[in-house]
């Protein structure tokens, strides 16, 4: 476990597994209906509590076990917020599809209304984590949450502004209206900046991993792998990568049937069906 390569592979596995686990939970809640989404979110609260406790307990120790636990704790906190979002429990006041022909300023306000509560809760959590762990001996849980947060914000802005590939195949019923607020376009001005910053951050983490030794090397390898995955998810917005196949086998075919496509403003299209990759909620 002291190898940075093992740490990177572990980050990849946790990204894949946590994404699939959240998708399975919300899709089963879709099938059961009623208050199943709220129950799933409430039953997931221990994960949030364990994650918060884990971040607090590991911040003061920089040994190998504490670094792994800090990384896992950051993922746990993030995962609960993603579950609450995809379950429709923590989203925003706007739960309706975007009407046709609205002006751009109204489109922005309506789009913000679909995620407002979630984004404010995540920002509050981010501020609390940074204030607690900024100068701690073990900041890797904090940086895990920071990477996930800014990758999420970047991804949401890109799908709002417009990208060629928007995968909504696994959108659960409570947030299916989000697809109407996306825009399919050849490119937007933010995307080159997003991938450049993510690539630069990945390179920085890799340099820190190379320059460090012992437990610190593992911590930076975890961050480098997580940032690289966020970079790949961004590139999947513009390249024909079939990343949905990574999780499709985990979910019943009856739960991923497509609905008729709906038109986006200014000629864009979205296939409004039942991904947000829950680790970054990107697509």
89 to 85, 176, 224, 276: CA distances (angstroms):
6, 13, 31, 16
Token look-up 């501020």 returns 127
Alpha-carbon span 140 to 217, nearest angstrom:
11
* Tokens representing residue 266 in the block: 């200014």
Alpha-carbon span 153 to 87, nearest angstrom:
19
Q: Count the domains in the chain.
A: 1
Query: Is the dihedral angle over the CA atoms 47, 48, 53, 55 positive or is it negative?
Result: positive
pLDDT at position 252: 58
pLDDT at position 264: 42
Asked if residue 283 belongs to a domain, the reply is no
Helix or strand holding residue 239 (H, E): none
pLDDT at position 139: 94
pLDDT at position 275: 33
Asked if residue 172 belongs to a domain, the reply is yes
Asked if residue 276 belongs to a domain, the reply is no
Helix or strand holding residue 263 (H, E): strand 262-263
Asked if residue 80 belongs to a domain, the reply is yes
Asked if residue 232 belongs to a domain, the reply is yes
Asked if residue 279 belongs to a domain, the reply is no
pTM for the structure as a whole: 0.86
pLDDT at position 168: 76
Which residue range is the domain that position 266 belongs to?
Answer: 4-270
Per-residue pLDDT of the chain (283 residues; tens, 9 = 90+): 778 889 999 999 888 888 888 988 998 898 888 899 999 999 999 999 999 999 999 999 989 999 999 999 999 999 999 999 999 999 999 999 999 989 999 999 999 999 999 999 999 999 999 999 999 999 999 999 999 999 999 999 999 999 998 877 778 889 999 999 999 888 899 999 999 999 999 999 999 999 988 888 999 999 999 999 999 999 989 887 666 666 665 665 445 444 433 334 443 333 222 233 434 444 3
| CA 31 to centroid of chain Cα atoms | 23
Asked if residue 194 belongs to a domain, the reply is yes
Query: For the chain, first and last CA: distance in Å?
Result: 32
Asked if residue 282 belongs to a domain, the reply is no
* Tokens representing residue 245 in the block: 């196949």
245: which residues sit within 8 A by CB, 6+ positions away? none
pLDDT at position 187: 86
Alpha-carbon span 267 to 269, nearest angstrom:
7
């Amino acid at each position: 476990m002291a190898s940075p390569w093992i740490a990177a592979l572990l980050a990849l596995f946790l990204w894949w597994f946590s994404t699939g686990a959240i998708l399975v939970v919300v899709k089963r809640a879709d099938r059961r209906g009623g208050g199943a989404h709220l129950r799933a979110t409430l039953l997931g609260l221990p994960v949030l509590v364990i994650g918060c406790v884990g971040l607090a307990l590991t911040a003061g120790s920089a040994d190998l076990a504490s670094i792994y636990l800090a990384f896992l704790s950051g993922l746990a906190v993030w995962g609960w917020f993603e579950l609450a979002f995809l379950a429709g429990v923590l989203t925003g006041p706007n739960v309706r599809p975007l009407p046709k022909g609205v002006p751009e300023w109204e489109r922005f306000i309506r789009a913000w209304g679909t995620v407002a509560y979630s984004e404010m809760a995540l920002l509050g959590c981010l501020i609390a984590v940074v204030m607690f762990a900024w100068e701690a001996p073990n900041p890797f849980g904090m940086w895990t949450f920071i990477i996930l947060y800014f990758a999420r914000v970047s991804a949401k802005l890109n799908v709002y502004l417009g990208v060629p590939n928007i995968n909504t195949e696994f959108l659960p019923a409570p947030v299916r209206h989000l697809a109407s607020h996306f825009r399919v376009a050849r490119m937007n001005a933010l995307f080159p900046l997003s991938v450049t910053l993510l690539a630069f951050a990945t390179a920085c983490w890799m340099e820190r991993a190379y320059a460090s030794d012992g437990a610190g090397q593992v911590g930076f390898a975890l961050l480098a792998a997580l940032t690289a995955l966020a970079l790949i998810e961004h590139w999947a917005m513009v390249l024909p990568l079939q990343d949905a196949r990574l999780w499709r086998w985990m979910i019943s075919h009856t739960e991923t049937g497509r609905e008729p496509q709906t038109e986006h403003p200014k000629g864009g299209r979205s296939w409004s069906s039942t991904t947000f990759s829950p680790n970054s909620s990107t697509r």
